[in-house]
């Protein structure tokens, strides 16, 4: 930290800070310009007690459960999303994941961490895994980078290899619920070396974006089956078009 602070001004001189969304000049290397900050949508209250889905009406009584959670109670123990997925958050996700702007991990993780409730006791921070061939092709697991930052910011244990993806899965976009379930069947498993440590553990499962929730749901099922007591999901962006 001291080294980073010492060389920070030199880095800023050589590489002037630019907003990763629009390119305007900013004051620090890990932020956004005011206009782009304003374009992000932060999930607000009141929200579903189970999944933190924002309610449309501000008059909604605290502690209510949303209709999707009533219809199918989730296995997870809450979702902490830094933003709702819109054009602004999509630009940041693409810059991070496909534009290889890996320095964004600190800011994106900070936004997700800010949405987590106060945590009691030890928690394991586990990323959604990539298949080894996709990891080899991309060179990094964006969820693992976020998990590393979240664990550091919370002072909790990072278990980067807690889950493994045993088979390649197609893109889930456009697939129906049944097709997504079939595609993920048997794809995600607990790392045998980490199984014992999951007995009775509290876990923060980390992903960059939650769309349908199929992948994170598969991870939660796997973790709970392995003995995890609680599994909360933390992500930078969550697709909830009805809440925008």
Determine the Cα–Cα distance for residues 141 and 103; give it in Å rounded to an integer: 14
* Residue-range domain boundaries for the chain: 1-39, 41-243
Residues 6 or more apart whose CB falls under 8 angstroms from that of 140 comprise 102
pLDDT (0 to 100) of residue 174: 60
Which pLDDT tens digits describe the chain residue by residue (244 residues)?
554 444 444 444 445 678 888 877 766 666 788 898 999 999 988 899 889 898 876 655 666 899 999 999 999 999 999 999 999 999 999 999 988 889 899 999 999 999 999 999 999 999 999 988 888 888 999 999 999 999 999 999 999 999 999 877 766 656 566 677 677 778 899 999 999 999 999 999 999 999 988 899 999 999 999 999 999 999 999 998 766 5
Q: Is 198 helix (H, G, I), strand (E, B) or coil?
A: helix
Looking at domain 41-243, its CATH architecture is 3-Layer(aba) Sandwich (3.40)
67: helix, coil or strand? helix
Task: Quote the pTM value.
Answer: 0.88
């Amino acid at each position: 930290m001291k080294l980073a602070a010492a060389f920070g001004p030199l880095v800023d001189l050589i590489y002037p800070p630019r907003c990763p969304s629009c390119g305007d000049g900013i004051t620090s290397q890990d932020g956004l310009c005011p206009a782009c900050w304003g374009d992000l949508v932060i999930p607000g209250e009141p929200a579903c007690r189970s999944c933190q889905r924002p309610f449309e009406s501000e008059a909604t009584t605290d502690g209510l459960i949303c209709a999707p959670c009533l219809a199918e109670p989730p296995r997870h123990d809450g979702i902490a999303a830094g933003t709702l997925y819109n054009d602004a958050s999509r630009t940041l996700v693409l810059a991070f994941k496909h534009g290889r702007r890996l320095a964004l991990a600190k800011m994106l993780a900070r936004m997700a961490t800010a949405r987590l409730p106060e945590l009691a006791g030890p928690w394991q921070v586990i990323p959604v895994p990539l298949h080894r061939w996709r990891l080899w092709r991309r060179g990094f697991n964006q969820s693992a980078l976020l998990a590393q930052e979240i664990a550091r910011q919370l002072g909790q244990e990072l278990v980067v290899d807690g889950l493994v993806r045993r088979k390649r899965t197609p893109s889930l976009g456009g697939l129906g619920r049944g097709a997504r379930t079939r595609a993920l069947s048997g794809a995600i498993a607990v790392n045998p070396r980490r199984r014992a440590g999951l007995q009775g553990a509290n876990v923060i499962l980390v992903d960059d974006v939650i769309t349908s929730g199929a992948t994170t749901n598969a991870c939660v099922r796997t973790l709970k089956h392995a003995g995890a007591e609680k599994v909360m999901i933390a992500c930078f962006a969550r697709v909830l078009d009805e809440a925008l």
